[in-house]
Amino acid sequence: MVLSPDAPSVLRIAVLGCGVVGTEVVRRLVTEADELAARTGAKLELVGVAVRSLDAERDPVVDRALLTTDAEALVARADVVVELMGGIEPARSLVLRAVEHGASVVTANKALLAQDGPALYQAADAAGVDLYFEAAVAGAIPIVRPVRESLAGDTVQRVLGIVNGTTNYVLDSMTTTGDGLDEAVAEAQALGYAEADPTADVEGYDAAAKAAILASLAFHTRVALDDVERAGITGLTAQDVEWAGRTGHVLKLLAVAERAQGDDGTAGVLVRVQPTLVPAEHPLAGVRQAFNAVFVEAEAAGELMFYGRGAGGAPTASAVLGDLVSVARHRVLGGKGPVESSHADLPVLDAGHARSRYQVRLEVDDRPGVLARVAHALADQHVSIESVRQTPRATGDDASATLVITTHTAPVRALRTTVDAVAALDVVRRVVSVLPVL
Amino acid sequence: MVLSPDAPSVLRIAVLGCGVVGTEVVRRLVTEADELAARTGAKLELVGVAVRSLDAERDPVVDRALLTTDAEALVARADVVVELMGGIEPARSLVLRAVEHGASVVTANKALLAQDGPALYQAADAAGVDLYFEAAVAGAIPIVRPVRESLAGDTVQRVLGIVNGTTNYVLDSMTTTGDGLDEAVAEAQALGYAEADPTADVEGYDAAAKAAILASLAFHTRVALDDVERAGITGLTAQDVEWAGRTGHVLKLLAVAERAQGDDGTAGVLVRVQPTLVPAEHPLAGVRQAFNAVFVEAEAAGELMFYGRGAGGAPTASAVLGDLVSVARHRVLGGKGPVESSHADLPVLDAGHARSRYQVRLEVDDRPGVLARVAHALADQHVSIESVRQTPRATGDDASATLVITTHTAPVRALRTTVDAVAALDVVRRVVSVLPVL
C-alpha cells in the first residue's frame, strides 16, 4: 500500500476488560502480531489492559506487566481503545474520554450502544475518530458492517433473527429433551452458556439491545432500548415447546425490526423481541444451540441470511479484531469509517401496529359446539382462521380439550380484543398461550 | 456528520454498460436520489451512461440524453465510475483510464478482477482512489466486504460455496425433474437464468473467477483464474444426479478455497471448482434455484454462512450501490477503503494436494467376489472405504451391477492411482463417475 510519509508505524492499543473476550483479543494481538501489522500497515502495540483486580487468575498470554486498574490513564495514552467491560458505567465515561483524547474506539457493548449510541456517535464524529461495534451484535457474524455499508444503497424492509445465543441454547435444549425452563437454564449455566444471573438474556434485554442497534442502522433512525417491545422466554413451559412441535413449529426468541405503517398511514419502524413459533421448514428453525442467524430483507437485494457463532470468546474476538484492523487502517491510510446515519428519523411505532399470524391455545370444555362458538367469536373480530385443531385431554364428567387455533395475519390489537372475547366464553376454561407465528 | 469545508456537495457518477444490472443501478440512482444524498453527504449526479448502441430499446428510467458511446470521454469527467460492461476489453482500459483521472471505481467484473486484479489494485492505490467490487462475487450477498474487512483480524481456513446461480439452477432442476443436462440448460435459458452461450457458467469459468477473487482476499495472496483447478457441470448426467439422491446427497457445483500443505509440508493455498456430492442434511444442499451461499471457516470466528440472491439486476445493483455509497463517502469524508492485501504470498498448490472423501461409481460383473476384489485394490493404495453399496442392474448371462464406493478422506493422487487400479480389474467394466463428497 502507498503510505504518506507521516503515517504512523506503531499504533498504541488499550484493552478495557480482560474477561473471556478480552483474553482472546489479547491472545490474537500477541500471537498474530506480525500478520496484523502486515494487514494494517502499522504495528499494533498493546500498551495496557485495564482490569478490576490485578491479582485475579489469568491466562498466561496476558502479560501481567500490562495490567492496570487505572483505566482513565490508560485510555489517555492509546490510539485505539477496545472496550470490553460491558455495562453502562464506567464504560461510557471511558469511551467518551478516549474519544476526547483522539482515540478511535472498538466496542462490543450492546447495552451502552442501545442506551447512549447517539451521544457516543456524536462525540466520535466531532473528534474525527472511529466508533466501531461489529462484536456488539451476533458475535462473530458480520452483520453490522453489511447492514451499514453493504446495504447502504438499498432499502431494508425487515431485519429478523436469533441474536441471543443463551436463550436459543435454552429453547433448543427444551425442544430436544422435553425439559422445563428452569432445568434448561440450569444446564445452560452449568455449561457456561448462561450467566449466574441470567436475567439480561432470558428476559430479552440483550436481544432487545441488539435489535435496537440493528434497527438504527437498517432504517437510518435512532432506536433505543426503550423503543423495543420486549418479551423474554420466562413463562414458557415444556408444554409450549411440545405443542410447538406438535403443530410443526419450533419455539425461538426472535428479534424483529421492520418498516410498518402508523395509524395515519405514514411510514414508521416497529421493533420487538418475542418468543415466536417458527415453521419447522424455515431456516431459522434449524439454528441449534448457541448459534445466531439474521435475515435481512431489502428492496433490491431480496432476502439475505447471515449465520454463525453469536457469542463466545474467540468468535467475539474475531469481530473485535476485524474492527480493530479497520480503524487502524484509517489511522495509517487516512479517512474514517461510517458515521451515524439517522437522517430518515422515522417514528418508532408502538407494538400495537404489529401484524402477524398467531397461534392461540385454549383449554375448553370437551363437548359439541365449542369449536363453533370459538370460531364465531373470532369472526366477530374479523380475525380469519387458518386452522383449528382440537385434542381431548381427559375423559369423564369434567372432560376438557385443548383447542389450538392458528390465525391468518391479523393486527395484534384485533387479536388482543379477540382473545379477550374468547376468554369470556363460558366454554373456555383458560387461554393457555398466545404466540406469534413467523 | 461533520464535513470539512472543502467536501464536495456533488459527485459525478458515470455508469459503463446499461444491461440488466446497469439499468437497475440507474433506476436506484434516479428514484433514490434524495435518500442516497442523505446517506452519502453529497448528491450523486449521474453524468452519463456508456452504451454500445444509442438506438437500442431501453427502460424509460434511463434518460436518453445521458447515453453516450464515448466511454473514454465519459470516464474522464467522473468522480466515480461504475463499470458494468463485463469482459476484459474495453473494460480494463476504461477502468485504468478512470483511475488515472482520479476517479474511484466500482465494478462487478469478476473476469477482469480474476485476470488483472493486481494491476488494477496497484493503479488505484497509486492514484489514491478506491476500487470496490462487492457485486463481482455472489451478487447481492455481502461477502467481499466481510472477508476483506470483518475477518481482517482473523485467519481464514476455508471458503466454500455455491457462487454460480446458473449452474445451481440447472442442477436443482435436474434434481427436481430428473431431466438431463441439455434439457435443464435449455429450460434455464428460456427462463433467463442462463445465457445463449452458457459456456462461462456451465464450464465453471464464472465460478472459478469468483473463487480466485475470494481466495485472494481470504488468504492475502494473489490467486488468478489460471490458478483455479476447474471442472464444470458438462458431462454430468441424469444418472449422476439420481445416484446422488439415492446415496443421500445433492449434486452441487462448489467453489472451494482452502489452506493446504504442499509436498514439503509448507503452507499453501488450494482453489478449485468442481461438482461435489453434498450430504442432504448440509445447509448447502438446501440452496435451491439460482440462490448462492458461501461458508467461511475462520480460526477464531468458527463457521459463518452467507446466503442470498447471487445474480439478477436488482440484487446485483444492491451490491453496486452499497459500494458506490462507500466510495462516495470517502470522497466526502476523506480516506479510502482497503487496498490489495497480498503480503502472505502463499504458494498456490496444484490440485493434486487436495484431500477429500470421494464417491466412485463402477459398473461391474454381477458375480460373487467382485466387491472383495475391488475392496482389495483400494486397500492396496491405502484408501480407506467408508461404505460400499452394490445394486444389480440386469439379470441373465451378462448380468452387471452398480457398485458405489464412498472413501474416507484421501489425497486425490492416491485416489487417482486407486481408480486406475480398480479400472484395470477384469471384473470392472467401467468407471462411471468419480465425485468428491463434501
Burial of A18 (0-12, 13-18, 19+ CB in 10 A): buried
**Chain A residues near residue B323 by CB distance under 8 angstroms:** 153
Domain B354-437 architecture: 2-Layer Sandwich (3.30)
Tell me the nearest-neighbour CA distance from B262 into chain A, angstroms: 21
The Cα of B177 is separated from the nearest Cα of chain A by a number of Å equal to 21
Q: How many CB pairs under 8 A join A and B?
A: 207
Q: Residue B425 pLDDT more than 90?
A: yes
Domains in chain A: boundaries: 10-140+314-333, 144-309, 354-437
Q: Would you tell me which CATH number, out of the four given (3.40.50.2300, 3.30.300.210, 3.30.360.10, 3.40.50.300), belongs to the domain B144-309?
A: 3.30.360.10
Cis peptide before A90 (omega within 30 of 0): yes
| Cβ-contact A251, A236 below 8 angstroms | yes
Work out the percent of chain A whose per-residue pLDDT is above 70. 98
The Cα A409–Cα A256 span in angstroms is: 16
**pLDDT mean over B91-112:** 97
Which pLDDT belongs to residue B273? 98
B144-309 shares its CATH topology with B354-437: no
B3 pLDDT more than 70: no
Cα B213 from Cα B222, distance rounded (Å): 9
| Over residues B228-252, mean pLDDT | 96
Of these ranges, A398-402, A417-421, B13-17, B382-386, the one predicted with the greatest mean pLDDT is B13-17
Contacts of A323 in chain B (CB under 8 A): 153
User: In the numeric block, which cell numbers belong to residue A265?
Assistant: 398511514
- What does the pLDDT look like over A360-403, one tens digit per residue? 999 999 888 888 888 888 888 888 889 888 887 766 667 889 99
Alpha helices in A234-333 (DSSP H): 238-246, 313-333
Residue A105 has pLDDT above 70, yes or no: yes
Mean pLDDT computed over every residue of chain A: 94
Residue A382 C-alpha, separation from nearest chain B C-alpha, in angstroms: 36
d(CA A280, CA A175): 12
**Active-site pick, B110, B210, B252, B336:** B210
Under DSSP, the state recorded for B402 is E
Nine cell digits for residue A107: 466496542
- Are B336 and A333 in contact (CB < 8 Å)? yes
Local confidence band at B336 (pLDDT 50, 70, 90 cut-offs): confident
DSSP 8-state code for residue B51: -
Confidence of residue B394 (pLDDT cuts 50, 70, 90): low
CA distances to A128, B68, B88, B376 from B99, in Å: 27, 20, 16, 62
Q: Tell if the CB–CB gap between B317 and A300 is shorter than 8 Å.
A: yes
The minimal CB distance from B335 to the residues A149, A300, A330 is found for A330
Q: Across the strands, what pairs with B229?
A: B272
Phi, psi of B391 (to 5 degrees): -130, 120
Catalytic pick from A110, A210, A252, A336? Answer: A210
**Confidence at residue B5, expressed as pLDDT on a 0 to 100 scale:** 66
The answer to whether A218 touches A253, Cβ cutoff 8 Å, is no
Residue percentage of chain A with pLDDT more than 90: 81
Give the pLDDT score at A395.
64
- Region A406-420: what's the mean pLDDT? 90
Please give the single-letter amino acid code of residue A410: A
Active site residue B336: no
Question: Which chain A residues are within 8 Å of B140, Cβ to Cβ?
Answer: 298, 300-302, 304
3-state secondary structure at position B77: coil
Residue of B151, B154, B220, B287 to mutate when probing chain A, most A C-beta within 10 A: B154
Contacts of A211 (CB under 8 A, 6+ apart): A159, A163, A223, A228, A255, A256, A257, A271, A272, A273
Do A142 and B152 lie within an 8 Å CB cutoff?
Answer: no
State the Cα–Cα distance between residues A217 and B256, nearest whole angstrom. 33
What per-residue confidence (pLDDT) applies to A397?
Answer: 64
Instruction: Look at residue A248 in the predicted model and tell me its pLDDT.
Output: 95
Smallest CA–CA distance, residue B161 to chain A, in Å, is: 14
- On the 0-12 / 13-18 / 19+ scale of CB atoms within 10 A, A425 is middle
Residues of A in contact with B320 (CB under 8 A): 153
Render the burial of B369-399: b for 16+ CB within 10 Å, e for the rest: ebbebbeebbeebebeeeeeeeeeeeeeeee
A308 contacts B302? CB cut-off 8 A: yes
Cβ distance of B301 and A324 shorter than 8 Å: no
Residues in B touching A336 (Cβ below 8 Å):
333-335
pLDDT single digits (tens) B249-291: 999 999 999 999 988 888 999 999 999 999 998 989 999 999 9
Closest CA to A41 of B277, B358, B340: B340
Residue (of A374, A368, A367, A378) closest to A417 by Cα position? A378
Contact B324 A126 (CB under 8 A): no
Label residues B75-105 b or e (16+ Cβ within 10 Å = b).
bbebbbbbbbbbeeeebbebbbbbbeeebbb
Using N-to-C axis directions, what is the helix angle for B110-127 and B91-100, rounded to 10°?
10
- Residue of A11, A46, A150, A330 to mutate for B, most B C-beta atoms under 10 A: A150
Instruction: Please give the Cα distance from B429 to B437 (Å, whole number).
Output: 23
As given in the structure block, the three cell numbers for residue B261 are: 500443505
Contacts of B2 in chain A (CB under 8 A): 125-126, 128, 339
- Our CA-based measurement puts residue A283 at a distance from the nearest CA of chain B, in whole angstroms, of 9
Show Cβ contacts of residue B56 under 8 Å, excluding neighbours closer than 6 positions.
none
The complex's ipTM? 0.92
Mutate to test the interface with B, among A299, A318, A330, A340 (most CBs of B within 10 A): A318
Instruction: Judge: B142–A150 Cβ closer than 8 Å, yes or no.
Output: yes
Cell 498493546 belongs to residue = A46
CB contact under 8 A, A152 and B325: yes
The C-alpha of A412 sits at a distance from chain B's nearest C-alpha, in angstroms, of 30
Half-sphere exposure of A7 (CA within 13 A, CB side): 19
One-letter identity of residue B422: V
Report which DSSP code applies to B146: I
CA distance A187 to chain B (A): 23
pLDDT recorded at residue B395: 64
Q: pLDDT, tens digit, for every residue of A171-219? A: 999 999 999 999 999 999 999 889 999 999 999 999 999 999 999 999 9
What is the C-alpha separation between B158 and B299, in angstroms, rounded?
10
**What proportion of chain B, given as a percentage, has pLDDT over 70?**
98
Write the DSSP string, B333-386: H-B-------TT-PPBPPGGG-EEEEEEEEEEE-STTHHHHHHHHHHHTTPPEE
Higher pLDDT, A266 or A257: A257
Q: Summarize pLDDT for B289-322 with one digit per residue, the tens.
A: 999 999 999 999 999 999 999 889 999 999 999 9
| Contact list, B34 vs chain A (CB under 8 Å) | none
Q: Do B35 and A155 touch (CB under 8 A)?
A: yes
For the domain made up of A10-140+314-333, give the CATH fold: Rossmann fold (3.40.50)
Residue A2 has pLDDT above 70, yes or no: no
Of A244, A261, A265, the closest CA to residue A359 belongs to: A244
**Cβ–Cβ of B315/A334 closer than 8 Å?**
no
Would you call B30 helix, strand, or coil by DSSP? helix
Helices (H), A365-434: 370-380, 412-423
In A, which residues are within 8 Å of B216 by CB distance?
A: none
Per CB-CB distance under 8 Å, the chain B contacts of A26 are none
- The answer to whether A185 touches A198, Cβ cutoff 8 Å, is yes
Rounded to whole angstroms, what are the CA distances from B166 to B114, B253, B377?
Answer: 19, 10, 39
**Structure-block grid coordinates of residue A368:** 359439541
- Residues of B within 8 A of A301 (CB-CB) are 140, 308-309, 314-315, 318-319
Q: Which candidate from B299, B333, B338 shows the least CB-CB separation from A336?
A: B333
Contact A2 B125 (CB under 8 A): yes
Query: What are the C-alpha distances in Å from B227 to residues A107, A194, A354, B89, B215?
Result: 39, 46, 52, 21, 10
Cβ <8 Å between A300 and B321? yes
State residue A42 phi and psi, 5-degree precision.
-150, 155
Q: Please answer yes or no on whether A28 and B300 come within 8 Å at the CB atom.
A: yes
A430 pLDDT tier (thresholds 50, 70, 90): very high
Query: Which residue from B minimizes the CA distance to A36?
Result: B153
Cell of A274: 418475542
* DSSP label of A335: B
Q: Evaluate if residue B392 carries a pLDDT over 90.
A: no
Q: Which of A366, A359, A368, A372 is nearest to A419 (CA)?
A: A359
Task: Please give the residue that has the higher pLDDT: either B104 or B367.
Answer: B104
Peptide bond into A142 cis (omega under 30): no
Angle at A145 between CA A143 and CA A146, to 5 degrees: 65
| Sign of torsion over alpha carbons A263, A267, A272, A276 | positive
Given a cut of 80, whether residue A84 has pLDDT beyond it is: yes
Please give the residue of chain A at the shortest CA–CA distance from B327: A149
Mutate which of A154, A219, A323 to disrupt the B interface (most B C-beta within 10 Å)? A154
Given a cut of 90, is residue B390 above it in pLDDT?
no
Strand partners, A231: none
Which one of A1, A35, A142 has the shortest CB-CB distance to B150? Answer: A142
Tell me what pLDDT residue A438 has.
95
Contact B126 A2 (CB under 8 A): yes
pLDDT in tens, A17-65: 999 999 999 999 999 999 999 999 999 999 999 999 999 999 999 999 9
Average pLDDT over residues B332-357: 90
Rounded Cα distance between B122 and B340, Å, is: 8
Residue B19 has pLDDT above 90, yes or no: yes
CA gap A130, A106 in Å, rounded: 8
- Cα separation, A140 vs B360, whole angstroms: 38
Place of cell 374479523: A382
Q: Work out the number of other CB atoms within 10 angstroms of the CB of residue A52.
A: 10
Distance from CA of B304 to the nearest CA of A (A): 4
Cell 461510517 belongs to A338
C-alpha cell at B336: 479510502
Cell digits for A350? 408502538
What pLDDT is recorded for position A1? 60
CB B16 within 8 A of CB B74: yes
Cβ separation B153–A303 shorter than 8 A: no
**Helix boundaries (H) for B136-180:** 144-145, 165-177
B257 C-beta neighbours (distance < 10 Å), count? 31
User: Do A28 and B153 count as a contact with CB atoms less than 8 A apart?
Assistant: yes
**Is B307 in a helix, a strand, or coil?**
strand
Q: Which residues of A touch B128 (CB under 8 A)?
A: 2
Compute the distance between CA of residue B320 and CA of residue B237 in angstroms, rounded to an integer.
36
Q: pLDDT for A147-174, tens place per residue?
A: 999 999 999 999 999 999 999 999 999 9
Q: Which one of A125, A298, A325 has the shortest CB-CB distance to B1?
A: A125
Confirm if A272 and A354 have CB atoms less than 8 A apart.
Answer: yes
